[in-house]
């Protein structure tokens, strides 16, 4: 009998006498192969790339705060057991965020092995409201680096005033700068604009082992569809390849059709969806 592995990964046995012809199919070169990843791995990599300024453990949950700068840095990352019953854990979460003058959010995920469909259902049953849904997309890194010649793209370790002038979040605080600069190996890309103008395009990348995470890819609306976003990502991808990364990830919201089209064209595909649930408001008695 012969053991044959099909393209979908399933193995079957056939009688040797039925084989007419065959050949060994070589593996896809590692440089081009799409990455395989678990939800847990990606969630931890993404968390390391966007660190809060304050965090605390509740069992295997991480409570994160950064003065309200982005939900990702101001929400609970529940990777595992909080160590106490769920209602007790959620009460502790509410108190922790109340003490900091922040709304309580829990970040959950659906659509991949190891994600948290059950937790989503439990939160909804308790009146927590899903406010934002986005997706984690992954893909091989090398094709991103090869898509464009990143001429004119300037890389830096810091988000300078020019970079911040193009970044979509205005009035960036010292706390925001700490979050933007967090991560194992952080790079900022800038395509300079006309004299005295904000940059034509910017982007951010965090290199963490085999992973390169892209974020904050912004292009001057008047200069879109000219390949500037691709050039920014290509420059960052080449730097990440030089540091040993081979796979890429990014996060994109459902309604951002332009970004989704760009990323799909670069070889990215959705891995899972993630959601931010907000605690219900207190009623007139002060209870929640």
Beta bridge partners of 130: 277
Query: For 143-154, how does the pLDDT look when each residue is reduced to its tens digit (9 = 90+)?
Result: 999 987 767 899
Q: Within a domain: residue 252?
A: no
Say which CATH number the domain at 216 has.
3.40.630.30
Instruction: Using the structure block, give the residue that is written with the tokens 């904000």.
Output: 198
Q: Within a domain: residue 279?
A: no
Confidence of residue 108 (pLDDT cuts 50, 70, 90): very high
Handedness of CA 223, 224, 227, 231 (dihedral sign): positive
pLDDT beyond 80 at 170: no
Q: Which residues of 216-242 are buried (b: 16+ CB within 10 A; e: fewer)?
A: bbbbbeeeeeebbbbbbbbbbbbbbbe
What proportion of the chain, given as a percentage, has pLDDT over 70? 85
Full residue range of the structural domain in which residue 147 is found:
142-245
First to last CA, the chain: 65
In sequence order, what are the residues at sequence separation of 6 or more whose Cβ sits closer than 8 angstroms to the Cβ of residue 260?
A: 252
Q: Within a domain: residue 220?
A: yes
Q: Within a domain: residue 217?
A: yes
Task: Report residue 10 as tokens.
Answer: 């399933």
Q: Within a domain: residue 280?
A: no
Query: How many domains, in total, are found in the chain?
Result: 1
Q: Within a domain: residue 177?
A: yes
Specify whether the CB–CB gap between 236 and 217 falls below 8 A: no
Strand, helix or coil at 70? coil
Query: For 109-161, how does the pLDDT look when each residue is reduced to its tens digit (9 = 90+)?
Result: 999 888 799 999 999 999 999 998 999 999 999 999 998 776 789 999 999 99
Question: 3-7, 164-168, 273-277: lowest mean pLDDT where?
Answer: 3-7
- The conformation of residue 192, written as its DSSP 8-state character, comes to -
Q: Within a domain: residue 149?
A: yes
Task: Tell me the pairing of strands 129-140 and 269-278.
Answer: antiparallel
Length of the chain: 288
Task: Tell me the pairing of strands 211-219 and 247-253.
Answer: parallel
Taking alpha carbons only, the member of 116, 133, 38, 46 closest to residue 78 is: 116
């Amino acid at each position: 009998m012969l053991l044959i592995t099909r393209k979908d990964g399933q193995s079957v046995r056939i009688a040797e006498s039925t084989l007419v012809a065959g050949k060994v199919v070589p593996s896809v070169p590692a440089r081009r192969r799409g990455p395989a990843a678990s939800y847990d791995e990606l969630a931890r990599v993404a968390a390391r790339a966007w660190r809060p300024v304050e965090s605390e453990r509740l069992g295997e949950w991480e409570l994160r705060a950064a003065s309200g700068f982005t939900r990702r840095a101001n929400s609970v990352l529940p990777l595992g057991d909080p160590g106490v019953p769920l209602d007790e854990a959620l009460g502790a979460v509410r108190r922790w965020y109340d003490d900091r003058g922040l709304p309580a959010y829990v970040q959950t995920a659906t659509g991949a092995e190891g994600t948290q469909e059950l937790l989503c259902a439990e939160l909804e049953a308790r009146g927590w409201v899903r406010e934002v849904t986005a997706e984690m997309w992954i893909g091989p890194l090398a094709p991103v680096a090869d898509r464009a010649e990143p001429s004119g793209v300037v890389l830096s370790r810091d988000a300078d005033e020019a970079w911040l002038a193009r970044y979509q979040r205005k009035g960036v605080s010292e706390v925001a700068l700490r979050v933007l600069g967090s991560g194992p190996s952080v790079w900022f890309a800038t395509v300079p604009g006309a004299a005295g103008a904000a940059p034509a395009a910017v982007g951010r990348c965090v290199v963490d082992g085999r992973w390169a995470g892209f974020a904050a890819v912004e292009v001057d609306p008047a200069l879109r569809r000219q390949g500037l976003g691709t050039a920014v990502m290509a420059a960052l991808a080449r730097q990440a390849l030089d540091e040993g990364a081979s796979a890429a990830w990014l996060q994109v919201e459902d309604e951002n059709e332009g970004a989704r089209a760009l990323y799909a064209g670069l070889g990215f595909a959705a891995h899972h969806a993630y959601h931010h649930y907000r605690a219900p408001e207190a009623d007139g008695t002060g209870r929640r």
